[in-house]
Chain A
């Protein structure tokens, strides 16, 4: 296959991914096309081709960015909310009004915050559901809008004679516990260490088939070990460390920077530094028990 047909095929593939709505894959494919065109010599319209591809890359990047940045689910029409309420409400037929509580919980679950709060608000009139509804309002307020919103609710209820002093004290404690639990989860959870910046562009790195690196001394390995690359996305690599090599898996700790790495590719060897983004044990599928390690390439030459 000559260079021209190769690029035509690659472009076709990129467009098909785009038609499938696979934005990340589209972007990756266009970047490969860009790299390929750059490597061509004696092409008349090289610059104009590159401009076109670059324009498309920018467009797809923007589209992908928009998609990734959308965090909240949109508020839907009343008709759609009715479907959510009726299909996903879990109620206790023995408890009067509990279907309304179940409906409000379903709305909150689908990210319909304002509609859910309105529904809980109505339940405050029912004495036997009042505290359950108030607790849910505090919990969702904290989850979706933060501590300020939950505090605002408590302030409003201070002068609300539907709540006794005892109720109010209980709700304040409940809110404090919920807020504390959320903070603890954020701290102990998966907050990753700050990732070092890399100035490398994806096109600066070629296809890498394996990496060789020296583990920290405590791993007891003096020699460089070789790890085959499972998959690559630009400057990001993934390797799978088999379960019978626990020392290696343990030594590749998330957040560590490893210098002196040798990258093997079909066209030659390169050296550089990697940052370990993630190291987790695979707990399902054929690689169950193996470690999946993600690296970010920081330098490559």
Chain B
């Protein structure tokens, strides 16, 4: 849950990167950490990874400066994507204000994307949140792998399978070289802040 202090005009909200294992959630955060130096207000924390797999979570704090009279801070988190770390995902998801769902564009990962989106839906439900109410954006990652000769799903197919009912903003991305990373996080932050404005009326006219 966002920390909103209207007296001091301060807002702190939490955005979680969700998605199947190895889809590129940590790579998104790493790219933001390296590229948006002005906005990054602290070190990126990655707790214990095994090889390249996230076992617990990654954390990156951002400061967006003053927005409509409020000092806005955003905390970005990633969850471990492997199916077996469900309880860790639930813990990291606690208090979430916005979600970026990173889907893997590789054809062979089609089912894993669907299962992970379902897992997100269920975990949100456990916290009394509804997937089509929470600020959410989709990212279709690893588009660069097409040039390596790997079979990818067309964006239209991913839209039909993952976003047909949700109808949320979606972005093609290649987190490894930064394509679409900024657009994704910006869109999620906008949706999240708009949602918080609707709930808490924090912005000055």
Contact = CB atoms under 8 A, between A and B. Distances in A.
Contacts of B198: none
B117 A22 contact: no
Contacts of A70: 50
Nearest to B118: A284
A286 B48 contact: no
Interface string B144-171: 0100111100000000111011000000
Contacts of B110: 231
Interface in A255-301: 283-286, 288
A284 B117 contact: yes
Contact of B149 (A9, A106, A283, A285): A9
B129 interface: no
Q: Which of B51, B53, B114 has the most CB of A within 10 A?
A: B114
B94 interface: yes
Contacts of B118: 283-285
Q: Which 7 A-B pairs have the closest CB atoms?
A: A109-B91, A25-B108, A21-B22, A80-B47, A284-B118, A76-B48, A286-B164
A13 B53 CA distance: 21
Interface residues of A, number: 31
B52 interface: yes
A21 B162 CA distance: 23
Q: Which of B88, B91, B94 has the most CB of A within 10 A?
A: B91
A109 B89 CA distance: 10
Contacts of A192: none
Contact of B162 (A106, A111, A285): A285
Contact of B47 (A17, A83, A109, A285): A83
Interface string B92-122: 1010000000000010111100100110010
B45 interface: yes
Given A73-B56, A284-B117, A285-B118, A16 B148 contact: yes
Contacts of A25: 106, 108-109
